[in-house]
């Protein structure tokens, strides 16, 4: 009996099921066993992937928690609800735009601008010195940069894949997510440090690194942005630049957001964070009252209104995110240290030594990470 039972066991229902599961797992492991796994399809992760791809490397994947790429770069209906401006001295970003054949154009700032310094006083009007170098915008919105970068390797991006843990098994790094397990020789984490800290690491990372992660502010993680579209740029007809700076009141900053072709007309800016606690309809009303006080009733004739509160977005912000509009010092050198015996490294704008927080920081950290991955001594 025992012999028969042994002989037939491989064909029992349970054994077949086990064999099937093992085969599927083996196949999954094989397909998902990559040289490089990049966690996060924001600007930094995509720049690293783009550089690898350009150098002829095809053995990489990118895991992204959201159902879209771009991270803190997000243009919706022609409005940059995430990053917008770059400066002429943002060298790596300017070079990248050039390489990808993308155009930039000056932020519109001609005419009267307004400062609201006391809600009971008449706002102060002023002119921006147009001799000073202007900030620039990207034609087609900053998402055009994201789309251009990712175009050659769309098939390597896994969306809706939220990474939860990262462990070192000696040979490889195993990356666990809600969408299965992945393994790679080298893993790059590009999450804002506060989010990177929430992942589980086995073995655990050094205490000093966890401390640096929790102490690093996520740039703009607390911002609320609005975009309001119109049939015309009526403010320009009034001789107004569209720029409104609020030291008090519902608006913190508002700017003209007309597109480069002058075919779509909009205002875009930052809302006072105190309005977060209001109901959306009350917030909107308070906001429109504030703009109407400066630009008049025509502001009510909008064709589209959008707002995005980044503090509510769990793939950027955390519950402990405090407000901060002073640019912090980024680029703590501890983020440059290799972890898990050289198999894990950290990247992303908050890790950049120069222009951390900005798109420039994300691009330079993405470039630096690609260079490090390709270094021979690190790539044994």
Applying CB under 6 A, which residues contact ligand FAD?
39-45, 63-66, 71-73, 82-86, 162-163, 190-192, 195, 219-220, 223, 225, 310, 315-316, 348-349, 357-362
**Of 71 and 111, CB closest to ligand FAD:** 71
The token pair at 365 is 């950290």
The 10 Å CB-count burial string (b at 16+, else e) for 256-294 is bbbbeeeebbbbbbbbbeebeeeeeeebbebbbebbebb
**Of 178 and 231, CB closest to ligand FAD:** 178
CB 35 → ligand FAD: shortest distance, Å? 19
Identify the CA nearest to 295 among candidates 349, 240, 258.
240
**Of 209 and 352, CB closest to ligand FAD:** 352
**Of 132 and 377, CB closest to ligand FAD:** 132
**Of 192 and 242, CB closest to ligand FAD:** 192
**Of 275 and 293, CB closest to ligand FAD:** 275
| Cα dihedral across residues 51, 52, 57, 62: positive or negative | negative
CB 193 → ligand FAD: shortest distance, Å? 10
CB 149 → ligand FAD: shortest distance, Å? 11
CB 62 → ligand FAD: shortest distance, Å? 9
Report whether 317 contacts 232 (CB < 8 A): no
**Of 97 and 195, CB closest to ligand FAD:** 195
**Torsions phi, psi for 209 (to 5 deg):** -70, -45
The token pair at 219 is 């740039």
Report whether 94 contacts 360 (CB < 8 A): no
CB 358 → ligand FAD: shortest distance, Å? 3
CB 13 → ligand FAD: shortest distance, Å? 37
CB 317 → ligand FAD: shortest distance, Å? 9
CB 23 → ligand FAD: shortest distance, Å? 28
Report whether 287 contacts 225 (CB < 8 A): no
**Of 57 and 273, CB closest to ligand FAD:** 273
């Amino acid at each position: 009996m025992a012999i028969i039972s042994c002989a037939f066991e491989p064909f029992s229902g349970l054994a077949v099921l086990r064999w099937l599961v093992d085969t599927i797992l083996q196949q999954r492991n094989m397909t998902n066993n990559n040289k490089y796994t990049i966690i996060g399809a924001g600007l930094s992760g995509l720049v690293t992937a783009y550089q690898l791809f350009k150098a002829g490397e095809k053995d990489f994947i990118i895991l992204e928690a959201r159902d879209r790429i771009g991270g803190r770069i997000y243009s919706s209906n022609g409005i940059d609800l995430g990053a917008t401006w770059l400066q002429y001295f943002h060298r790596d970003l300017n070079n990248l735009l050039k390489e990808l054949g993308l155009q930039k154009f000056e932020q519109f700032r001609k005419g009267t601008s307004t400062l609201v310094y006391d809600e009971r006083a008449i706002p102060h009007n002023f002119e921006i010195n147009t001799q000073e170098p202007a900030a620039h915008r990207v034609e087609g919105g900053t998402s055009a940069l994201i789309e251009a970068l990712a175009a050659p390797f769309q098939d390597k991006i896994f969306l809706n894949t939220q990474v939860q843990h990262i462990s070192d098994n000696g040979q490889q790094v195993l990356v666990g997510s809600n969408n299965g397990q992945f393994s790679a020789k080298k893993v790059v984490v590009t999450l804002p440090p506060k989010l990177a800290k929430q992942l589980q690491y086995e073995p655990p990372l050094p205490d000093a690194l966890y401390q640096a992660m929790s102490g690093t502010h996520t740039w703009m993680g607390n911002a609320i942005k609005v975009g309001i579209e119109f049939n015309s740029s009526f403010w320009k007809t009034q001789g107004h630049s569209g720029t409104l700076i609020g030291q008090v009141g519902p608006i913190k900053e508002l700017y003209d957001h007309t597109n480069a072709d002058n075919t779509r007309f909009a205002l875009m800016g930052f809302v006072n964070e105190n309005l977060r606690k209001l109901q959306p309809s009350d917030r909107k009303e308070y906001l429109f009252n504030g703009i109407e006080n400066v630009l008049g009733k025509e502001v009510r004739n909008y064709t589209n209104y959008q707002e995005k509160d980044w503090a509510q977005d769990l793939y950027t912000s955390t519950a402990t995110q405090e407000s901060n509009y002073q640019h912090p010092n980024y680029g703590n050198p501890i983020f440059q240290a290799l972890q898990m015996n050289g198999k894990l490294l950290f990247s992303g704008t908050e890790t950049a030594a120069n222009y951390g927080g900005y798109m420039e920081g994300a691009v330079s950290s993405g470039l630096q990470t690609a260079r490090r991955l390709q270094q021979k001594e690190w790539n044994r």
